[in-house]
């Protein structure tokens, strides 16, 4: 064998860089010590992320499908104790913002309601420059080190040989990857929960995911976790409903946001912060603040409310604003700083690098939606799409002929860094199961049922049995009962119990309501037909409208129906153009004798009931429920019967759904 052929044989067995250099470790970035910052000299990290960032033009690689809105942010009280950031220390300041919500997996042409993580990115146009809080609707992420991000997304996206499935994780490559990366187990159980199916962007939490720093005027650093809490409560769809909405109204979430703002129902979120003094950084069992796959339970560190975000204006042009907005975790202002989280460190490179391809060059910050609301002065010049016309002779620093730096700008927190250069994961990142168990323990009975059903559905699409078996083995380390329930649905042998459940839970992780919430902007469908009582429908509509509930009257066709007094009443739209899945409740009034024989009306009631929604009927309207196999004698607070349903409807809407129903006999 020749030297040349020996060389080729050697390289066929190993991963290499684009230059043919063998790669010893593609799972850990080069750091100064196991918990230290990532190093710029890591050529493998830079090449891997650079190649990934430039894979698609011009659509975002992830978060391609989104919706955005303008708004304002105000703090409640000055946070001078923690930070010098101007927008967090001046309660009189009203900081303009632009927020973009998004799905992660799908292309721009995909639907709004798949099982997926949702992006929640906020650009604050502060008086010290732009600060971007680029987070998700889940507080943790799949991976611990950003060098694995290309692998995660490649596995999650459609399989490359046939480009299927679109915006779905129910396929072999995704589950092959996660079962070979145990660090994904915590985020994975969030993805299998109803958190992956938000009712609307307006009813969705947001999280900064990473641990950041706030730095005060004395140079003291405090670790922080950022939380967004919606004023309308945190609510979700169910999976069957979400799938049907994808066909009935693929723009369901973006339409909901747009219409609410146009109607003056401005959505708002409270910004909360978990403050962790530096001296407490190592006091949490099994939690490293630099590990993005972990959260800090609110029982250990409460969330302190600090301000309110309100979205009050829709974009003037989708492309110019929502599509061209460029977020970056690297956009921070004085008083806020980074930590050595290796996922965050990689994002600091990746976001800026991505914009160069997606927005055509280095001057994307000059686009109106990205432009700071403060003057920009520097010596950057030229490049594609330069919009400024610089004046003067000096385009360098230092100089004596033009603008000079006064030395009063951003300074990084002077953290001591010391350690060997090595590709190594900190031993404090090694626990991959206890927080997945924490999440499972925190769920209500119906939330657990939905999680088991999600694992069964997703893994049921996996054709490689060994991958299913591996996943059950991982779940057995989360909770034995969970593993047994999932195994029973996917043809895998029941595992032998391997570990005991630690028994810890956190109430903040469950979406099961503990008290009634607001009903403003909920949508109720009233099924109409000839003979309906005009007075009854008008009274119900007025009563619900007083509480901010939107009522839509659905007729057999567009136009009008004849009421019991012989006069026509206009309907909102034809029943055939919509479905129960786009409403929060369904009402069948008295007097409409024909509806019991209308298959579409019966389906409306049956489907809403199966999805746990409030269903109301009066008089002959009850015949529709009987045809739908709904038991009228059931003890169900969300099943409202009688001539005065408004109070019961409002109470049921305030707790979102009733998932305790027996729905076995209800038609599909």
Least confidently predicted of 146-150, 386-390, 605-609: 386-390
At what angle are helices 465-478 and 172-180 packed, to 10 degrees?
40
In tens, the pLDDT along 336-366 reads: 999 999 999 999 999 999 998 899 888 999 9
Confidence of residue 3 (pLDDT cuts 50, 70, 90): very low
Task: Give 203-237 as a 3 state SS string.
Answer: HCCEECCCCEEEECCCCCEEEEEEEEEECCCCCEC
Taking alpha carbons only, the member of 190, 468, 145 closest to residue 288 is: 145
* Residue 70 falls in the annotated catalytic set: no
SS (H, E, C) 243-258: HHHHHHCCCHHHHHHH
| pLDDT at residue number 524 | 98
Of 46-60, 430-444, 542-556, which gets the smallest average pLDDT?
46-60
Cβ contacts of 369-377, under 8 Å, gap ≥ 24: 369/98, 369/320, 369/321, 369/324, 369/325, 370/123, 370/130, 370/324, 370/325, 370/326, 372/125, 372/129, 372/130, 373/96, 373/125, 373/126, 373/127, 374/126, 374/127, 374/128, 374/129, 377/403
Asked whether the beta carbons of 584 and 524 are under 8 A apart, the reply is yes
Burial 284-312 (b: 16+ CB within 10 A, else e): eeebbbbbbbbbbbbeebebeebbbbbbe
**Helix (H), strand (E) counts: the chain:** 16, 20
Cα(273)–Cα(267) distance, integer angstroms: 20
Report the share of the chain in percent with pLDDT over 70.
97
Say what the pLDDT of residue 7 is: 45
Nearest to 323 by CA among 531, 492, 102: 102
Residues 84 and 127: their CA atoms lie apart, in Å, by 12
Residue 552's pLDDT is what? 97
Pick the catalytic residue from 28, 44, 63, 476. Answer: 63
**DSSP letter (8 states) at residue 495:** P
Q: How confident is the model at residue 6 (pLDDT cuts 50, 70, 90)?
A: very low
Q: pTM to 2 decimals?
A: 0.93
Tell whether the model's pLDDT for residue 551 goes beyond 80: yes
Residue 156 has pLDDT above 90, yes or no: yes
Cα 287 off chain centre by:
23
Q: Is the pLDDT of residue 649 over 70?
A: yes
pLDDT in tens, 375-393: 888 888 888 888 888 888 8
Pair 45, 29: CB distance under 8 Å: yes
Task: Give the rounded percent of residues in the chain with a pLDDT score beyond 90.
Answer: 81
Least confident of 14-28, 171-185, 192-206, 453-467: 14-28
Which of 40-44, 51-55, 118-122, 445-449 comes out lowest in average pLDDT? Answer: 51-55
Which residue did the predictor score with more confidence, 413 or 76? 76
Q: Compute the distance between CA of residue 245 and CA of residue 508 in angstroms, rounded to an integer.
A: 28
Secondary structure (H, E, C), 127-163: ECEEEEEEEECCCCCCCCCHHHHHHHHHHHCCECCCC
Nearest-angstrom CA–CA distance, 176 and 490: 16
Mean pLDDT for 494-505 is 96
Average predicted confidence (pLDDT) for the chain: 93
pLDDT at 665: 74
DSSP state of 318: I
304-313 and 66-75 strand pairing: antiparallel
ω before 58 within 30° of 0 (cis)? yes
For β-strands 585-588 and 206-207, DSSP reports them as: unpaired
Concerning whether 314 is annotated as a catalytic residue, the answer is no
Average pLDDT over residues 426-448: 97
Query: Which string of DSSP letters, residue by residue, matches 399-452?
Result: -SSS----S-S-----------EEE---GGG---SHHHHHHHHHS-HHHHHHHH
497-516 mean pLDDT: 95
Asked if residue 575 lies in contact with residue 602, where contact means CB atoms within 8 angstroms, the answer is: no
Cis peptide bond prior to 398, omega within 30° of 0: yes
Angle at Cα 641 formed by Cα 638 and Cα 646, nearest 5°?
A: 70
Q: Sorting pLDDT into bands at 50, 70 and 90, what band is 447?
A: very high
Give dist(CA 179, CA 96) in Å, integer: 43
User: Of 28, 130, 136, 253, which one is the catalytic site residue?
Assistant: 136
Q: How far is CA 121 from CA 53, 99, 249, 328, 379, in A?
A: 18, 6, 24, 9, 29
What's the chain's length in residues?
A: 668
Q: Residue 55's pLDDT is what?
A: 76
Buried b / exposed e along 631-650 (16+ C-beta atoms within 10 A) = eeeeebebbbbeeebbebbb
Q: Determine the average pLDDT of the residues in 96-106.
A: 97
DSSP state of 300: T
Q: What is the pLDDT of residue 404?
A: 63
Rounded Cα–Cα distance for residues 616 and 583 (Å): 13
Local confidence band at 16 (pLDDT 50, 70, 90 cut-offs): confident
Count how many Cα atoms sit within 13 Å of the Cα of residue 589 in the half-sphere of its side chain. Answer: 26
Q: Which residues contact 473 (CB under 8 A, 6 or more apart)?
A: 483, 495
Does 451 score more than 60 pLDDT? yes
């Amino acid at each position: 064998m020749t030297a040349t052929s020996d060389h080729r044989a050697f390289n066929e067995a190993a991963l290499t860089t684009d230059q043919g250099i063998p790669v010893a470790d593609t799972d850990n970035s080069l750091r100064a010590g196991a918990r230290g910052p990532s190093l710029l000299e890591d050529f493998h990290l830079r090449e891997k992320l650079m190649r990934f960032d430039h894979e698609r033009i011009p659509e975002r690689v992830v978060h391609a499908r989104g919706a955005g809105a303008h708004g304002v942010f105000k703090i409640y009280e000055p946070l001078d104790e923690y930070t010098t950031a101007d927008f967090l220390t001046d309660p009189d300041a009203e900081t303009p913002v632009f927020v973009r919500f998004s799905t992660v997996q799908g292309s721009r042409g995909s639907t709004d309601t798949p099982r997926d993580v949702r992006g929640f990115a906020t650009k604050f146009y502060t008086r010290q420059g732009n600060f971007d809080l680029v987070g998700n609707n889940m507080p943790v992420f799949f991976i611990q080190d950003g060098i694995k991000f290309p692998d995660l997304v490649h596995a999650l996206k459609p399989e490359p040989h046939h480009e299927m499935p679109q915006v779905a994780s129910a396929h072999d490559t995704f589950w092959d990857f996660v079962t070979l990366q145990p660090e994904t187990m915590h985020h994975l159980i969030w993805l299998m929960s109803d958190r992956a199916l938000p009712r609307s962007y307006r009813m969705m939490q947001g999280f900064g995911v990473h641990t950041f720093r706030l730095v005060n005027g004395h140079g003291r650093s405090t670790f922080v976790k950022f939380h967004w809490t919606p004023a309308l409560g945190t609510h979700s769809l169910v999976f069957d409903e979400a799938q049907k909405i994808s066909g009935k109204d693929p723009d369901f979430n973006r339409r909901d946001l747009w219409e609410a703002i146009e109607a003056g129902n401005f959505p708002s979120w409270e910004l909360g912060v978990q403050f962790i003094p530096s001296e407490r950084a190592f006091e949490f069992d099994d939690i490293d603040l630099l590990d993005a796959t972990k959260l800090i339970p609110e029982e250990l560190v409460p969330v302190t409310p600090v301000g309110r975000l309100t979205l009050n204006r829709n974009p003037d042009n989708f492309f110019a604003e929502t599509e061209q907005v460029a977020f970056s975790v690297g956009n921070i202002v004085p008083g806020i700083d980074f930590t050595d989280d290796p996922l965050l460190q990689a994002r600091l490179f990746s976001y800026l690098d991505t914009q160069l391809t997606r927005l055509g060059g280095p001057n994307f910050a000059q686009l109106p939606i990205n432009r700071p609301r403060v003057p920009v002065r520097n010596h950057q010049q030229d490049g594609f799409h330069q919009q400024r016309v610089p004046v003067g002779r000096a385009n360098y620093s230092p100089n004596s002929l033009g603008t000079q730096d006064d030395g009063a700008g951003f300074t990084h927190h002077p953290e001591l860094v010391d350690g060997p250069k090595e590709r190594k994961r900190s031993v404090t990142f090694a626990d991959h199961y206890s927080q997945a168990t924490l999440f499972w323990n925190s769920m209500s009975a119906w939330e657990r049922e939905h999680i088991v059903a999600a694992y069964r559905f997703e893994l049921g699409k996996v054709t490689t049995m060994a991958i299913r078996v591996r996943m059950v083995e991982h779940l057995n380390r989360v909770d034995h009962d969970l593993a047994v329930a999932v195994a029973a649905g996917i043809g895998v042998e029941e595992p032998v119990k391997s570990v005991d459940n630690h028994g810890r839970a956190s109430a903040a992780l469950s979406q099961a309501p503990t008290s009634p919430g607001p009903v403003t902007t909920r949508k109720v469908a009233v099924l109409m037909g000839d003979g309906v009582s005009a007075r009854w429908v008008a009274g119900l509509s007025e009563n619900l409208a007083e509480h901010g509930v939107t009522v839509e009257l659905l007729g057999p066709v567009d136009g009008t129906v004849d009421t019991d007094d012989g006069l026509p009443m206009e309907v909102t739209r034809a029943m055939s153009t919509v479905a129960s899945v786009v409403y929060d409740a369904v009402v069948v009034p008295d007097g409409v004798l024909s509806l019991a024989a209308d298959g579409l009306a019966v389906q409306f009631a049956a489907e809403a009931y199966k999805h746990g929604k409030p269903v109301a009927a009066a008089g002959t309207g009850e015949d529709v429920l009987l045809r739908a196999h709904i038991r009228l004698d059931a003890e169900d607070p969300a099943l409202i019967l009688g001539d005065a349903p408004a109070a019961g409807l409002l109470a049921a809407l305030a707790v979102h759904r009733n998932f305790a129903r027996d729905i076995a006999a209800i038609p599909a």
